[in-house]
Amino acid sequence: MTTIASIGTGNMGTALIQGILSADENITVRATTNSAASAKRLAGEMPQATVTSVEEDADANATAATGADFVFLGVKPWMMADALRALAPALEPTTVLVSMAAGVASADLAQLAPQNPIVRIMPNTPSSIGHGVIALAPDAEVAADSVETLRSLLSGAGLVVDLDESQIPAMTGISGSGVAYFFLLAEAMIAAGVKQGLSEDAARQMVVATADGAGRLLTRKPDPAAQRKAVSSKGGTTLAGLQEFIDAGIFDIAEAAAQAAADRSLEMERENSEVING
């Protein structure tokens, strides 16, 4: 049976582990948090996992990681150095480290745990319901069968995309962070509906169901331009609305957003590299 230690199990760690467990319950999960309060809440959300906290047991991370096949690292990027440094002596050389941290390069993680193979992943939050996108970038030390096992585990959380680590900032810009852009659009559309006289409740219900429907249609026929053109009759309402988005520079806005997130990812890599390498 595969054993996963999830070190730092907050929003993203919980989303991933829940996605994995929803597809395969035959996995041992040991999850840790910093505070006892978070551990208590997590134990309620994830009854299949053994949950411990650093507040209650200073060795909780090392104990959870000992003998695990995969150690998922889900602490905030700037906490990674301290957490991994403390954990490294407890790791067996065969244990694969799986870092989900935005802006921490594998080469820097390797400084902290030189004996262990490292996989960098970049997930997004729909992973908790099996509809995430998870980029998978293993370093050269990771055995092919470990990559295969990890790919299969993560596929419970969503679409797994193999990438080179150098492509992670670009992926972050459209997918890791990209899910929030869709939420922002939904927020803006609800506000617009309210301005047009709808109640907030009605506007929210309609926008959420519209997003769901659009997503499902797009999944069936993954050509957004064709889908858009199919609903844009000449002289019609949709074309009038779309023209506003186009005139306001929607393509430039998306490009700038993707670039800003990718740039920030690289900037974080540099900042975290300085922290790790002193």
Ligand X SMILES: NC(=O)c1ccc[n+]([C@@H]2O[C@H](COP(=O)([O-])OP(=O)(O)OC[C@H]3O[C@@H](n4cnc5c(N)ncnc54)[C@H](OP(=O)(O)O)[C@@H]3O)[C@@H](O)[C@H]2O)c1
Site for ligand X, rule CB under 6 A: 7-13, 32-35, 38, 54, 61, 74-77, 79, 83, 100-102, 122-125, 176
Residues 253-269 as b/e (b if ≥16 CB within 10 A, e otherwise) read eeeebbeebbebbeebb
89-95-100-104 Cα dihedral, nearest 10 degrees: 50
When the beta carbons of 108 and 203 are compared against ligand X, the nearer one is 108
Q: How far is the CB of 75 from ligand X (least distance, A)?
A: 4
- 102 three-state secondary structure: coil
Q: How far is the CB of 39 from ligand X (least distance, A)?
A: 7
When the beta carbons of 9 and 95 are compared against ligand X, the nearer one is 9
Q: How far is the CB of 213 from ligand X (least distance, A)?
A: 24
Q: Which helix (H) or strand (E) holds 159?
A: strand 158-162
**CA–CA–CA angle 214, 16, 211 (5° rounding):** 10
Q: How far is the CB of 61 from ligand X (least distance, A)?
A: 5
When the beta carbons of 41 and 151 are compared against ligand X, the nearer one is 41
Contacting residues for 96 by C-beta, under 8 A, at least 6 apart: 69, 70, 71, 116, 117, 118, 119, 142, 146, 150
Give the 3-state DSSP-derived string for 5-46, with helices as H, strands as E and coil as C: EEECCCHHHHHHHHHHHHHCCCEEEEEEECCHHHHHHHHHHC
Q: How far is the CB of 3 from ligand X (least distance, A)?
A: 17
Q: How far is the CB of 13 from ligand X (least distance, A)?
A: 6
| Region label for 27, one of left (φ > 0), alpha (ψ between -120 and 50) or beta (otherwise) | beta
Cite the DSSP H helix spans in 196-236. Answer: 200-220, 224-230
Using CB atoms, what's the residue nearest to ligand X? 10
When the beta carbons of 126 and 156 are compared against ligand X, the nearer one is 126
Q: How far is the CB of 136 from ligand X (least distance, A)?
A: 13
Sign of CA pseudo-dihedral 119, 124, 125, 126:
negative
When the beta carbons of 43 and 239 are compared against ligand X, the nearer one is 43
103 in Cβ contact with 265 (< 8 Å): yes
When the beta carbons of 153 and 203 are compared against ligand X, the nearer one is 153
When the beta carbons of 34 and 203 are compared against ligand X, the nearer one is 34
